[in-house]
Homo-oligomer: A and B are copies of this chain.
């Protein structure tokens, strides 16, 4: 799966499934992801302590509606799964509109859109509907049914690993807990799958771990169950909102100067983009960047969290995300991986004066003139700054040369025995 069209088809296929932080919707979603990637799947029982939290009861829903006196369903979960507030407790009652109203959520500013609401940790129920639909409801008595269950079960998540030559890991994390919302985060899931497939065709240096887990509680669960593995996580990205029409946005890690931050700033420089500082709200970077972990994990989105009117509404549908945008997000990620994979610190083994490049054939091997000039400069820069302090990306930034030119020069010097890792 590599083309935007294939990614978009996956978004459309996943869109109708009703997901929440637990339940069968997540499992069906992981089933579909599993058709593309080999997954290690996990079920963590209700009641399990995870860091400061506890795995909640599992929520499932079969049906839900508001019907009028004639039995006609005026709000129907079968039409759109956003119609029910996530984690609604069961209800089966008749009540007048006046009482029902306290459980209804609309978006007056966008009268045709259905909002997305949840109440994971406070037991209540509710329906979401368009303002227009609400305005059309006559004052009358309605039948209100939510056929849901909240029962012991488990939290589901999955991992896919692309093994590298070293055990140092790069983590790519996507939340899989949102129901029919395309950009947030089915587009992220589709792009992550494509990235994993592309990586598998290379022999990466780092081990890449893709995490498909419910937001907040899912990453907390993973962190709780992998305490002994955390030290291996050298870099990471939380991937979300990967398909909307906006430019790319990189949100820095809490550290702000982690290598992933430098890589993303470099990769995005030539593209339309925004870079924003870390803040402790948004997606699962909140957990990876909590002060106890403080991992080098940033977040890549297009338009960020809560930054577009369609965010958390029925307008975030497959029409809101485009094949082109997902391809662009994927391309940026592949560029970032390309830099990350090759970014090292070398040590000049001949640090006193310049080594004589000519006698080693390092001038002759350069080909065409303007390329040769660049390559020669790059070798001089790598030799001069390879003191163990500067990475190749640092050298590219300081010299103004491209990372590719610097990395090629470093490889040539390495092959000539002039630098070592």
Chain A stretch 278-299: residues in CB contact (< 8 A) with chain B: 279-281, 286-287, 289-293
With A51-B353, A53-B356, A399-B279 as known contacts, state yes or no: A380 contacts B286, CB within 8 Å.
yes
Interface contact A280-B380, CB-CB below 8 Å: yes
Q: A47 in the interface, Cβ–Cβ < 8 Å?
A: no
Q: How far is the CA of A293 from the CA of B383 in the complex (A)?
A: 13
Interface contact A348-B291, CB-CB below 8 Å: yes
Interface contact B380-A281, CB-CB below 8 Å: yes
B residues in contact with A353, CB < 8 Å: 51-53, 219-220, 223-224, 287, 290, 292-293
Give the size range of A's interface with the partner. Answer: 35 or more
A395 to chain B, nearest CB (A): 10
B residues in contact with A220, CB < 8 Å: 353-354
B residues in contact with A399, CB < 8 Å: 279
Interface contact B350-A52, CB-CB below 8 Å: yes
A215 to chain B, nearest CB (A): 12
Q: A385 in the interface, Cβ–Cβ < 8 Å?
A: yes
Q: A178 in the interface, Cβ–Cβ < 8 Å?
A: no
B residues in contact with A219, CB < 8 Å: 353
Is chain A's binding surface mostly helix, strand, loop or mixed? Answer: loop
Q: How far is the CA of A281 from the CA of B348 in the complex (A)?
A: 17
Interface contact B354-A216, CB-CB below 8 Å: yes
Q: A386 in the interface, Cβ–Cβ < 8 Å?
A: yes
A410 to chain B, nearest CB (A): 14
B residues in contact with A372, CB < 8 Å: none
Interface contact B352-A292, CB-CB below 8 Å: yes
Interface contact A289-B384, CB-CB below 8 Å: yes
| 8 Å CB contact of A384 from B254, B350, B385 | B254
Chain A stretch 375-403: residues in CB contact (< 8 A) with chain B: 377, 380-381, 383-387, 399
Listed in ascending order, the chain A residues whose CB lies under 8 Å from chain B are 51-53, 121-122, 216, 219-220, 223-224, 254, 279-281, 286-287, 289-293, 348, 350-356, 358-359, 377, 380-381, 383-387, 399
Closest 7 pairs between A and B when the two form their complex, measured CB to CB: A292-B351, A292-B352, A280-B384, A280-B380, A52-B355, A51-B353, A291-B387
